[in-house]
Structure formats: C-alpha cells, structure tokens
Amino acid sequence: MRLENKVAIVTGGAQGLGKAFAEELLKKGAKVCICDLQAAEGRKVVKDWQQRFGRHSSMFVPCDVTDHDSFQNVFRTTKSRLGPIDIVVNNAGIGNEGDGWQRTIHINLIGVIEGTRLAVMYMSKEEGGKGGVVVNVASTAGLTPVFNTPVYAGSKYGVVGYTRSMAANPSIHEVGIRFTCLCPAYTDTTMFKSEKIDDLKKVDSNDPLVQMVMKAGVNTIEDVANGFMQLVETDNNNGGVMTVTKYKGIQYRHGKPLTNKL
C-alpha cells in the first residue's frame, strides 16, 4: 500500500508504540487521527506533528475504546475531517492483572474487536468504503504462555485468534480489507518500564521473570515501528501474524498469511 494521502486511525496514540506508529505513517505522507484517554498528552503530540507535517496532517480525538459511542465518534470525526478511512491500528492496551483484571479484557480484546468492527463498517467495499488494512496489536504473549500475566496473555491470544478468523472470511475479496496482527515481545515503553525489571534484576537475577525478559530481549520502539510499517505496506499479507523480537527480528508466524490475493 502506498501511504501518501491515506487516512489512518491509531488508538492509544498519545505515547509509546501507538505514537511511533502514527509518526511513521505521517513521515510517509499519510494523514493520521490518534485517539487516547490522555487528552492533554494527545493534543500536545498532535500540535508538534501539525508544525512538522502540516496543519491538516493529523488530529486528536479523546476516546475510551471501551465506550462504543466515544469510539464511534473517532471514526465519524476522522472521516469528516480527514476523508475516507484506509488504515485502522487497534493499539491501545493495558496490563492490569489483579483488581481490575476485567478492564484488561475490555481494552485489550473487546476494544480491539470493537475497533475492527468499526473499521469494517467504515472501510468495507461492501459498505461503500475503499477497503484497506487493519493492524491489531497483540503481543508474543498472545502466542506463548506468560506465567506472570495470564489475563494479559489471554487477552492477546484472543486478539490473535479473532484477527486470523476475520482474515479467513471467504468473502474477503468483496470486503477488500486485510486483517493483520502485530506481536511484539518486550519493548522499551512506559508499559514495560512499569514492570521494573532492572530493579528486580538487582534483587534476584535468577527470578523467572528476569530470566524470561533476558531470554527474549527488549525491543526498541523503532524495532517494532519497522515491523509495523512492513505489515502496513505489504499488500499480500492478509491474516499475517508478525512477531518482533530482539533476538530473531521480524518474522511471520503460523506459516504463510492466509491469503495473498487481496
């Protein structure tokens, strides 16, 4: 897909991976709407982008992806201000495990399903849209057991299964949307830093969590953004599940993408 003048929505785009994904799209000439719970940060980021990429390059809409009306408003506003939507990146995610674990499922899995359904409503050729690509951000925790975060891992397994099943639709050519899944391993963002692995390492470098992180390595944000851009720009990867790990780089999992005909 050529990105010049394409219109993208990135959820959870005020910081971390979502912000980096949006910025890479802007560098290639796309127009981007980021949405996020963090309104002040989101507005600040967009103000900077408008100076660097042009006044009409980007916009921020406050949104909680667990709130249907608020999420639908993002799609409505993006279409009316930037034009028909081509790319949807369902990236917003959290890692609550104890009290509040249900919110992890609501944001990480139900929020992604909600965003994908809205993408189909706005982008499907069967609904008068232009087609395009959906990137659902899961994790390697959606492909391999992670003992310390079972709810988070369960939410991400759900994202992988849901996305692959959407891609397996026999009428995919009429829909005209590629459904893809991005699965990074540990990546150096606020979410990862909140795990305080370095502190844990000082106390006990044999701790099983420390061992797991050391084995997997820690991606830079740029490593993952490179994989993201490859997923978006490659036209024949419907159903593709891409992992990005420090020790093996960018790989497609589950063998070949389900169909390469879109």
Catalytic residues: 152
Footprint on residues 76-105 left by ligand LO7OFUQM (CB under 6 A)? 95, 97
Footprint on residues 211-230 left by ligand LO7OFUQM (CB under 6 A)? 212, 216
Residue 259's binding partner among ligand NAI, ligand LO7OFUQM, none (Cβ under 5 to 8 angstroms by kind) is none
Residue 144 in contact with ligand LO7OFUQM, rule: CB under 6 A: yes
Give me the least distance between CB of 128 and ligand NAI, in Å please.
Answer: 27
Binding ligand NAI (rule: CB under 6 A), the pick from 11, 136, 163, 238 is 11
Amino acid at 105: I
Question: Helix axis angle, 16-27 relative to 39-53, nearest 10°?
Answer: 20
Burial of residue 207 (number of CB atoms within 10 Å: 0-12, 13-18, 19+): middle
Footprint on residues 176-195 left by ligand LO7OFUQM (CB under 6 A)? 185-186, 191-192, 195
Q: For the window 88-107, what string marks contact with ligand NAI as x by the rule CB under 6 A?
A: ---xxxx------------x
Binding ligand NAI (rule: CB under 6 A), the pick from 104, 124, 136, 139 is 139
Residue 110 in contact with ligand NAI, rule: CB under 6 A: no
- Give the burial string for 178-194 (b: 16+ CB within 10 Å, else e): bbbbbbbbbbebebbee
Q: Cα(21)–Cα(59) distance, rounded to whole angstroms?
A: 14
| CB 252 within 8 Å of CB 236 | no
Residue 140 in contact with ligand LO7OFUQM, rule: CB under 6 A: yes
Residue 60 in contact with ligand LO7OFUQM, rule: CB under 6 A: no
Residue 137 in contact with ligand LO7OFUQM, rule: CB under 6 A: no
Choose between 172 and 225: whose C-beta lies nearer to ligand NAI. 225
Q: What angle do CA 262, 28, 17 make, to 5 degrees?
A: 85
Choose between 54 and 150: whose C-beta lies nearer to ligand NAI. 150
| CB 157 within 8 Å of CB 105 | no
Which strands sit side by side in the sheet containing 249-253, from one edge to the other? 58-62, 31-36, 7-11, 87-90, 132-137, 177-184, 241-245, 249-253
Binding ligand LO7OFUQM (rule: CB under 6 A), the pick from 141, 166, 175, 182 is 141
Under the rule (CB under 6 A), what is the footprint of ligand NAI?
11-12, 14-18, 36-38, 63-66, 91-94, 107, 137, 139, 184, 186-187, 189-192
Interface positions with ligand LO7OFUQM (CB under 6 A): 95, 97, 139-141, 144, 146, 149, 152, 185-186, 191-192, 195, 212, 216, 245
